[in-house]
Each structure stands twice: as structure tokens, then as C-alpha cells.
Copies of this chain bind each other. A is one copy, B any other.
Amino acid sequence: MNPRSIVILGGTGDQGLGLALRFARAGRPVVIGSRKLERAVEAAEKVREAVPGADVVGLENVDATPRGPIVIVSVPFEHTASTVKSIKSALAEGQIVVSMAVPLAAAIGDGAVRTVGIWQGSCAELVAALLPPGVEVVSAFQNVSAHRLQHLAESVDCDVVVSGGSEPRKLVMGLCSLVPGLRAVDGGPLSNARIVEQLTALMIGLNVRYKVREGTGIRFTGLPER
């Protein structure tokens, strides 16, 4: 394990790839995981094309998982539980899993401007319920536009509400400063993920009503300057 590496499972999808590009651009080693090795390798190649000299590798999820202290799960909501179960045995005590999926009703064939209820309260708490003791879950990145992440020439202009236990939360907040325009906001306990996840559905509705193809973002006003 390289302590500077950032693991992104589902790094082949729009938002995961966007984060991979940004973290690679910031000089961090990136490990892209996918269910299929060839798709992970392909995504890693895309990152190297966009970010010359990027330290990035593509692996199957279970092989990617042990490679860094923070494992971002960036798969669609409907694949989140199965993905987390599939990597459970590869996780070690002390690792942090980042939940960024949103329970959009698209998962059950309804629209993306609504959500389905999660018994545990949120996707992040569902992930927490599936993980072994000693592995902490942090909720983050749900409201960041995939399009804007991938468009490396511009900053992202979005706050990231980070929720979870106080120590792992701080570590994940630290990742946000790697991406120009992202600001980490201390979102308190993991249970607040339910609010942050819902917000994505509202923002998808805004994207539709205002025809914002690049995706809206969110900012909290009145917070003290750091």
C-alpha cells in the first residue's frame, strides 16, 4: 500500500473518472478499480492521455482495494451494495471507504430527480452496515458534477459536504483541496449523508429546468474563511 495513493472503484464511470483525472493532475498516485480488468486498464490509459506523466494503474476492484488508505466507491447506487460486499475481504482495518452514490429512483426505473428510501437512512449508512469493524465510512462528492470534474481546464466551483467519524472525515476533507474550486465543508456525522444525497436529486432537477448541461454545483455562504 502506498499511503499517497487514492483508490477509485468505478473509476471507469463519469464521476469516478473525473476524480481520477483531478487527483492524478494534482500529482497523487491513482488506482482505478473496475469489475472488469480491461475496463480499468482502459480508464487508466484515458487518465494518462489527459494528464501526461500521471501515476495511474487499472485493476480489478478486489486487487485495487488494498492499494491505498482511502477507497472511493464511485459505482451507480444499484451496484454499490454488491461492490462493497465483493471487496469486503480485501479491506484492512484502518482503511476508509468513501460513499458517493445517490439512491436516485432511476435505480428502480423511475427518474433521476427523485430518490428511493434507504432503510439505513442513506447509501453511506448502507455501506457502513456492510463493512467489517475497523473500516470507517465517509460520505462525500455526491454533488460534484462529473462533467466539470472531467473538464480539467476549469475549476469546479462546488462545496463538498463531508460526513462521517471525525478523524476519517478530516482525511477525506483533505482530498478536496487537491481539486481547484472544490471546498470541503464539515458535514458532521455520517447520518447527514441522507440530506446530501437527496440534494443531488434536486440539483439534477435544476440541471433539467435551467438546461445546465455541465451541471450545477452548491456553495454554502457565511462560513468563516479558513
Q: Which residues of A contact B (CB under 8 A)?
A: 113-114, 145, 148, 157-158, 161, 185-188, 191-192, 194-196, 198-199, 201-203, 205-206, 209-212, 214-224
- Copies of this protein chain in the complex: 2
Residue of B nearest to A215 (CB): B222
A210 touches B186 (CB 8 A): yes
Indicate if the CB atoms of B222 and A216 lie closer than 8 Å. Answer: yes
Pairwise interchain contact A187-B212, C-beta atoms closer than 8 A:
no
**A-B CB contact pairs (8 Å), 20 listed:** A148-B222, A157-B221, A157-B222, A158-B221, A186-B209, A188-B205, A195-B198, A195-B201, A195-B202, A198-B198, A199-B199, A203-B220, A212-B223, A212-B224, A216-B221, A216-B222, A216-B223, A217-B220, A217-B221, A218-B219
Q: Given contacts A195-B201, A219-B219, are A188 and B113 in contact (CB under 8 A)? A: yes
Cα(A59)–Cα(B157), bound, Å: 45
Give the distance to chain B from A221, nearest Cβ to Cβ, in Å. Answer: 4
